[in-house]
Amino acid sequence: GEGPAAVNVALLCFHTLGGSGVAAGELGRELSRRGHGVHFVAAALPGRLDPNGIRLHAVPLEQPPPVGTQAFTFALAARLVEVVQRERIDVIHAHYAVPHAAAAALARAALGGEAPALVLTLHGTDVPAPDAPAGEIQLLRSLAHGADVVTVPSAALGRTARERLGLDGQPRVEVIPNFVDTSRFSPGADRAALAPLFPGRDLRSVRALCHASNFRPVKRPLDLLAILARVRERVPAVLVLVGDGPERPRLEAEALRLGLSREVAFVGAVRNLPPVLRACDLFLLPSAHESFGLAALEAMSCGLPVVGSRTGGLPEVVEDGATGLLADPGDVEAMGAAALRILGDEPLRARLCRAARDRALRLFRAEEVLVRWEALYGRVVSRRSPGA
């Protein structure tokens, strides 16, 4: 049958390492595959994205003083005005309230009656804490209220956003989860990627733990080493750390202090993550908070069980007891014990692996989630141009 009408979407997102950039990039890729017009208006394309069929309208991030980096929002808005007019944009989809919804609001004010619809996806860090400055909260409320629809990747973030941004009527807050390309992130245990990370080491009886993040303090990266140390009291194990960020130097120093340097491999940003995941036995995500936990979903899609924190939206991704084991944030005793339980019981691990993959396929497949984005775009576009 005929698919939904093609739309022209302007995607605003961060291109840096992190879930929101990955989520926006993957959305762009899938929309383009399905015949929609995809226009990123951003400093650069999100890291993992291959530019085929996708347009980047680049906005320089750094400008010398006296303009300064604060002018990025203005430059983004100005570019957006041009792109909307030239490319006949139907929907602006902003990932992150600041600066993207702010730039979209400026552009829409300038465009007046020709302004396209605005979809705002919150990812968590852009929802103000209760003790944030009053002006900031008011500004974020007004930005969120200016969108046609606000989406969140988890019901947990939806509750927080409704409460802190006063979103209790219009616009609607809709939960559309992040998704994963389940054919690329596929299972198939293969130790090959591990050997070069631990040269000269016999890895046959060693269990491998994996973690991927941007190493912000909210990820509680030191807990990874505490969990590894507990596991190693009983089982030979190594830890593979993917990504980069502010806490990495501290983590390296702590690994050295604990005598774990040879057991921990820092692989940095990785373009092709699935082979690294497939080489490991278990994924760790001990964050203080996660509004979703896209890295955990990618691991599950590769058939890895997850040991992590019972916080935010993570329990909506990882089904505690079925696709992994969760504990309170900071409870490294419990997480270490959970990891040992899984690694010491192969039938249990095999059951969790299968259930992890099944859950990714059932609830978070790109194809399933894209249908929901298309329906949402269709709805906001027809509301803007009735009879069109």
Point out the residue whose Cβ comes nearest to ligand GMT: 19
What whole-number distance in Å separates Cα of residue 99 and Cα of residue 96?
Answer: 7
* Residue 92: strand, helix, or coil: strand
Give the residue with the Cβ less far from ligand GMT, 73 or 214.
214
Least separation in angstroms between residue 72's CB and ligand GMT is 17
Determine contact, residues 80/108, Cβ cutoff 8 Å. no
- Residue 297 CB, shortest distance to ligand GMT, in Å, is 8
Name the residue nearer to ligand GMT (CB basis): 293 or 315.
Answer: 293
Measured from the CB atom, is 73 or 311 closer to ligand GMT?
Answer: 311
* Closest separation in Å from C-beta 300 to ligand GMT: 13
Q: Is the dihedral of CA 203, 284, 241, 223 positive or negative?
A: negative
Residue 289 interacts with ligand GMT (CB under 6 A)? yes
Q: Does 218 bind ligand GMT (CB under 6 A)?
A: yes
The reply on whether position 124 binds ligand GMT by CB under 6 A is yes
Number of residues that bind ligand GMT (CB under 6 A): 19
Nearer to ligand GMT, 185 or 349 (CB): 185
Q: Are 92 and 118 within 8 A, CB to CB?
A: yes
Interface with ligand GMT, residue 293, by CB under 6 A: yes
Non-local (6+) Cβ contacts of 145 within 8 A are 165, 166, 167, 170, 171
Considering only residues 163 through 192, tell me which ones interact with ligand GMT, judged by CB under 6 A. Answer: 178
Return the sign of the alpha-carbon dihedral for residues 214, 215, 217, 220: positive
Q: How far apart are CA 324 and CA 74, in angstroms?
A: 44
Single out the residue of 26, 223, 247, 290 in contact with ligand GMT (rule: CB under 6 A): 290
Q: Considering only the stretches 118-126, 134-142, 234-242, 380-388, report the one whose residues sit in contact with ligand GMT under the rule CB under 6 A.
A: 118-126
Q: Which of 283, 74, 276, 318 is nearest to 185 (CA)?
A: 276
By CB under 6 A, what part of segment 4-43 binds ligand GMT?
Answer: 18-21, 23
Q: How far is CA 41 from CA 52, 89, 361, 378, in A?
A: 16, 12, 31, 21
